[in-house]
Amino acid sequence: MTQVTIHDRPGRLRRPVLLLAFAGWNDAAESATNAVRFLRGAWDGQRIATLDPEEFYHFGLQRPLVRLAPGTSERELVWPETEFALCTRGSRDVLIGVGIEPHLRWKTYCRAVLDFARELEVGLVVTLGALLAEVPHTRPVRLTGFATDPELATILGVRPTRYEGPTGIVGVLSSTARASGFATASLWANVPHYISAIENPRATLALLQRVNRLLDGPLDYRELEEAATQFDSQLAEVLAQNRKVASYVRRLEARDQEGEEAEPVAPGGDLPSAQDLVAEIERFLRQQPPGPTTE
């Protein structure tokens, strides 16, 4: 079995938590991976380990990249590794793992990640995700999830979902961690399906603020808050200019007020509204000048 390679072994960690997010099916509008990358940057995370991709990816589907090595004219290959960084801050240490959802051997992949967690005496595994749902962007971001401990669930304020259906690596890893005896929590942002192709700083911010109830680290959200404000302003302009889009959002708002649970939308599947509505919003947003980055 392929193991995680530890490049810079840390000393004994303080109440370590492993925080994970994966690009792909589990990451609507890149909300979850942007959240963990924001934390890694804010807390000066240092790369300490990687999980070799050889057994877990179909490289015809997830191709390696070629780039110029920083500061040189030499070309280098960048493989789709899962990378782990250590953030030393506050009263506990945080290991941040980020990668791309693997294509193959999910059980082996999960065992490798959890063996690494056990080796570093991780006591808590937290996963972040984002799903497409029939929710309006004009309401606060809805967060769902679960926790193995009631106190942990209270801290995270998770609202359990009744969803049954396909799952991704986040769901499989969370289930495997729980079965392996780890305290486990998972937090998901509900992302409006009709703006799915655009990065959503509002969803990223909601995940960060909620998970930091648990991590309790110093965070400056101003850059993300500015990006979210600009994002909302652009969408408000769409609604002002397009009656069709505005009418659809009003229907979602009415259902949201009635307290109905949001209906998940499978990524890559048929959206429940007209494709031209989705395309029109995305075309408008792409024409706007870029806002602050979450990197």
Helix axes 201-215, 31-42, angle to 10 degrees: 50
Rg value, the chain, Cα: 19
Instruction: Tell me the per-residue pLDDT of 180-223, one tens digit each, with 9 for 90 and over.
Output: 999 999 999 999 988 877 889 999 999 999 999 999 888 999 99
Q: Can you give the residue range of the structural domain that contains 222?
A: 4-286
What is the number of structural domains in the chain?
1
- Whole-number average pLDDT of the chain: 86
**Which CATH number does the domain housing residue 232 bear?**
3.40.50.10900
In a domain, 294, yes or no: no
In a domain, 162, yes or no: yes
In a domain, 203, yes or no: yes
Instruction: Tell me the per-residue pLDDT of 123-135, one tens digit each, with 9 for 90 and over.
Output: 999 999 999 888 9
pLDDT given for residue 285 in this prediction: 60
In a domain, 295, yes or no: no
Mean per-residue pLDDT, 149-153: 90
Instruction: Tell me the per-residue pLDDT of 261-285, one tens digit each, with 9 for 90 and over.
Output: 555 655 544 443 445 556 666 666 6
Dist CA 172 CA 197 (whole Å): 25
In a domain, 10, yes or no: yes
| Three-state SS at 282 | helix
* Least confident among 31-40, 92-101, 115-124, 257-266: 257-266
In a domain, 293, yes or no: no
In a domain, 32, yes or no: yes
In a domain, 291, yes or no: no
| Structural contact between residues 57 and 103, judged by C-beta atoms closer than 8 angstroms | yes
What percent of the chain has a predicted confidence (pLDDT) above 90? 55
Residue predicted with more confidence, 290 or 12: 12
Inter-CA distances, 30 with 38, 209, 263, Å: 12, 16, 19
